[in-house]
Amino acid sequence: MILNFLLNIVYIFVSTVISIIPDSTIPDFITDTIATVSTYFSAFYSFLPFVTSTLIAVVGIFITIEGIILLIKVINWFIRKIPFLN
Amino acid sequence: MPIFRKQHSFLIVLFFTVLFFVIFPKTGIAQVSSTTFPALIYDNFDSYTLGTIDGQGNWVVDSQPTRITVNYTQQLQVSFPYALKDIGGNSFHATSTTALGEGTQFFWIAFTKNDIGYTADPVAFFSATYQVLFSFYLARTGDYEYCLMMTPENVCVSDRRFVASTNPVVWYPIGIYWNNYLGIVRYYDGEWTSDHAIGLIGTPTMFFYGSNSDKGIFMDNFTDNSLFPITTGVSTTTSSATLKQRAYDGCNQWIFPSNYICSALVYLFLPDYFYLSQFIVLKDAMLNKPPFSYVVDTFTAFGGLNASSTPAFALSAIGAIQTVIFDNLDIGIAGVIWLFFALWLIKRIGDFVP
């Protein structure tokens, strides 16, 4: 009963907040660009396989790290908005 | 006063110790994640699109099947009400309605075929050992010939039952289980290393096929080119009241006044499944909202970045030059890239301020 009430309050609050925010999708030209870049990578892969593999791995790790950092900052931003916790 | 405070603290610690280590385990509340829900499960697939079932309704692909330990006193009913349908007018019929009681859990599907007679005997059942897991084994000899077998997960080799037969070349395992914690049915679509299971080749392991009115998971029975349903009614619903009822039942095993205290705690602090499941939906919704969607979309987009696509142009060098110069240059440049990346990474992490 008590947990139901608290969970529902949290759910209503969060769902209301996120319902205000519009959905976002990555623009098509970016995905098309990445697909095109893949064809260039593929051409270089047969010629310089180590360099190409390294670049792909580096890009992947870079995106991962920046994504994690962004998420940490977003979460901290939310936490700081909670009264008395800042 | 200090003595009183110390006693007071001791009583609080004692209370929660009893609560979490005696009452909750005794009532089964602490075993929620490892038990099977007693719930009527049903899905008619009416709103699903044909193709892979992954992501539709509550069906998801799971990396590994989970053995579920059944430990409850109430009965579980599994039914396939939509299985009694003719598919193409020339089909197998699958039926199953049974009740599972403690210690005698079993599950069966009887297949009959109206044009060659029928058998009412169960062709598969699970499980005298508190294990309930639906493992459908599919074998393929050609593009359109499949064999379905069912087996208890814990005795998957010796006790499997043929539903249909063929000369299997490659075995495809399909595990279906009910995850009571998440309230979903899952099927296994990954590698399986037991006997006769060589693994998947990236093709759908279960057909999700049918007409608009007869959707479900079907296997081609390869004897008369008709389809027969395997699971046209497998769970997407559950009952939070059932979970609570289990807890109340556990409380009632205690003597007065512990049973009332236990029931009160269950009433107050055990959340209904409905309220928990809302957050699963919420999580999916949040993934479409910025800033989370930016991360998800970026990962998705860069997930397509690879070196196996069709080359935009061809690059080549004379064999000797490739061997003497470019191969070494390749390794050297790659090393330099890793070095600079490592330096950047150290600086990035070092300068990071949350």
Task: Assess contact for B242 and B75: CB atoms under 8 A.
Answer: no
Residues of A in Cβ contact (< 8 Å) with B278 = 7-8, 11, 15
Other CB atoms within a 10 A radius of the CB of residue B294 amount to 14
Name which of B309, B315, B321 to mutate to probe chain A: the one with the most chain A Cβ atoms within 10 A of its Cβ: B309
d(CA B257, CA B240) in angstroms, rounded, equals 25
Q: Does B301 touch chain A (CB under 8 A)?
A: yes
Report the percentage of chain B scoring pLDDT > 70: 27
User: Out of B282, B285, B293, whose CB is closest to A24?
Assistant: B293
Give the residue-averaged pLDDT of B179-199: 32
ipTM value, please give it. Answer: 0.71
Beta-carbon count within 10 A of A2 CB: 11
Distance between CA B60 and CA B234 in Å, rounded? Answer: 13
- For the segment B259-316, what is each residue's pLDDT rounded down to a tens digit? 888 888 888 888 776 677 677 777 777 877 877 777 777 777 776 666 667 777 777 7
Q: How far is A32 from chain B (nearest CA, A)?
A: 9
Q: Do A48 and B293 touch (CB under 8 A)?
A: no
Task: Kindly state the greatest CA–CA separation across chain A.
Answer: 66
Q: What is the DSSP letter of B324?
A: I
Mean pLDDT across chain B, nearest whole number? 48
pLDDT at B8: 54
For the record, the structure tokens of B47 come out as: 């709103």
Across A15-37, average pLDDT: 80
pTM of whole model > 0.90?
Answer: no
For residue A34, the chain B residues in CB contact (below 8 A) are 301-302, 304-305
The Cα A26–Cα A21 span in angstroms is 15
> Does residue B264 belong to the interface with chain A, where contact is any CB pair within 8 Å?
no
Compute the nearest-CA separation of B143 from chain A (Å). Answer: 32
Residue B218: HSE in the Cβ half-sphere, 13 Å Cα cutoff = 29
Q: What pLDDT does residue B237 have?
A: 32
Cβ atoms < 10 Å from Cβ of B14: 10
B231: three-class secondary structure by DSSP: strand
User: Residue B41, by phi and psi: left (phi above 0), alpha (psi -120 to 50) or beta?
Assistant: beta
Residue A6 confidence (pLDDT) above 60: yes
pLDDT of residue B337: 93
Over range B315-319, report the average pLDDT: 72
CB of A12 within 8 Å of any CB in chain B?
no
**Spatial distance between the Cα atoms of B252 and B249, rounded to a whole number of angstroms:** 5
B20 pLDDT exceeds 90? no
Quick: pLDDT tens for B192-224.
222 222 122 222 223 333 333 333 344 332 233
